[in-house]
Copies of this chain bind each other. A is one copy, B any other.
Amino acid sequence: MQSDKSNQHTIGNYFESFAIGQIFQHGVDRTLTQADASLYIALTGSRFAINCADTLAKQCGYQNMPLDNLLVFHIAFGKTVNDISLNAIANLGYAEVKFHQNSYAGDTLSVSSEVIGLKQNSNGKSGIVYVRSTATNQNDEHVVSWIRWVMVAKSDPACSLKPTVIPAFKKTLTAQEISREISADKGLLAKSIQFNQWQSHFSDNQIKFDQLNVASVIDHQYGITLNHSEHSMATRLYQNNAQVHFDQHKMQSSASGQRLIYGGHIISLCRSLSYNGLANAILPVAINGGSHTNPCYAGDTIYALTEVIDKQELADRNDVGLVRLRLLGYKNPTQQTIKQIPVEIKSSLYNDNQGKPNYAANTVLDIDYWALFIR
């Protein structure tokens, strides 16, 4: 009996095996189903109306209820883990997350990534890998694309240094870009899609685009406690095989001694919580960037609030507008913290120290996204 070491693909890639321009066609294409949508509701508590009823969706011009863009993103993202981040030390960030078209039950995602940046860390033991990933559907059309960068361990610390390449990318997608993107023929807001017949009660009579004040902060008020099974099931549903989420035996000897909760699950929980206040932010159309500011563990209770950063009307459209939102997640607040939020959000949640946020230990998420908003 002998150990078979011929297959390096089962242990992921290390920093030294990445090269600029390298393209990964990721494994395990995935057909999205209505079951993924129901599970997403059960796991996150999402209630955004457009994803919940065929009748409503058809009335607005969709073929039927579209899948939640974040569900689609998580499944697409999950496909990249095996090649890109199985040996990740940290997921550092993402940018230019663009949703190019709606997905429906029955669509199949294929995902690829191109290495667009590399930077070895000064300690020589790891480096940062930048990739641009793209999910396409069964018709070879783009569904969602994004840039992310991740710190990856080196397998052999002695291996030679690669020239540093740091890719150019946009810190923020402008309303103009988004508008052009979503108005395309098959875009999220193609001409056939109209919200003119939206009735206020569809989204629980909540505030609409015209009443929304830029710079206001909306406290979503309610919390959700993390249990092990939901985050484990969500992460497996996305076929994201990063081991830190699943293996308590190994995590026992980590700094926290616990399984880490997949950051995407936290994004989804915060977005779901944000329904309470922003029910008319019917769907995210792009994500400018985001940080998982502190790790989450089973037993933590997650709350969220949103700062309205910007709002823009859309040309030839009086049914929906574009809103830029900063979604902040925090956990286990003290009575003191709860009182300070949202009135003193800056000081209680993070400190703007020389332009760089200095997050308090109970913040868990700071994500900046654009959403369609019912007028």
- Spell out A's residues near B (CB within 8 Å): 1-4, 6-7, 9-11, 24-31, 33-39, 41-45, 47, 49, 52-56, 65, 82-83, 106, 108, 138, 199, 201-207, 211-213, 215-225, 227-230, 232-234, 236-237, 239, 241, 243, 246-250, 259, 276-277, 279, 299, 301, 307-308, 332-333, 342-343, 345-346
Are B233 and A1 in contact, with the CB atoms below 8 A? no
Q: With A and B bound together, what is the CA distance between A7 and B220 in angstroms?
A: 11
Q: How far is the CA of A65 from the CA of B41 in the complex (A)?
A: 23
Residue of B nearest to A199 (CB): B25
Q: How many copies does the complex hold?
A: 3
Report the bound CA distance from A33 to B55 in whole Å. 13
Q: Which of B1, B212, B236 contacts A41 (CB 8 A)?
A: B236
Query: Nearest Cβ distance between residue A33 and chain B, in whole angstroms?
Result: 5
Report the bound CA distance from A49 to B79 in whole Å: 12
- Per a CB cutoff under 8 Å, which of B56, B217, B299 touches A29? B56
- Residues of the B chain whose Cβ atoms lie less than 8 Å from the Cβ of A82: 204
Given the interface contacts A206-B9, A301-B249, does A53 sit within 8 Å of B41 by beta carbon?
Answer: no
3 nearest A-B pairs in the assembled complex, by CB-CB distance: A249-B301, A229-B229, A35-B38
| Alpha-carbon distance A232/B43, docked complex (angstroms) | 8
> Are A232 and B237 within 8 A (Cβ)?
no
Chain B residues near A215 (CB-CB < 8 A): 1-2
